[in-house]
Amino acid sequence: SAVISQKPSRDICQRGTSLTIQCQVDSQVTMMFWYRQQPGQSLTLIATANQGSEATYESGFVIDKFPISRPNLTFSTLTVSNMSPEDSSIYLCSVVPQREGRVQTQYFGPGTRLLVL
């Protein structure tokens, strides 16, 4: 398993500004992901954070809007840029500490609740 912390836990931001969310893991992990979850909705994968290279973004998400850094195997940041009210959501960091064959068991951080006014 892994223990994951996120900062901030919540924030209220003005439209047009940017917010950087931090994710810290208590052990080195290869696989790290960023998700978005809107109320009553499923988890939507934003990107896979790759250590030492550019993140891999899912369809509908672009680097200019959601730049991601992954400087080492225990830390990553997600920035939500030029925010609009549609970006209001919970942002979650997750890791796969150890892959068992084809199985990926994900461990999630507590989430960052973002409200954009």
Partner 1 sequence: SQKIEQNSEALNIQEGKTATLTCNYTNYSPAYLQWYRQDPGRGPVFLLLIRENEKEKRKERLKVTFDTTLKQSLFHITASQPADSATYLCAAGSSASKIIFGSGTRLSIRP
What minimum distance in Å lies between the beta carbon of 82 and partner 1?
26
Rounded CA-CA distance 102/43 in Å is 21
Which CB sits closer to partner 1, 17 or 41? 41
Rounded CA-CA distance 20/35 in Å is 14
What minimum distance in Å lies between the beta carbon of 67 and partner 1?
21
Which CB sits closer to partner 1, 23 or 116? 23
The residue ranges that bind partner 1 (CB under 8 A) are 4, 40-43, 45, 92, 94, 101-111, 113
- 3, 56, 113 from 41: Cα distances, Å: 25, 23, 14
What minimum distance in Å lies between the beta carbon of 13 and partner 1?
18
Rounded CA-CA distance 53/71 in Å is 9
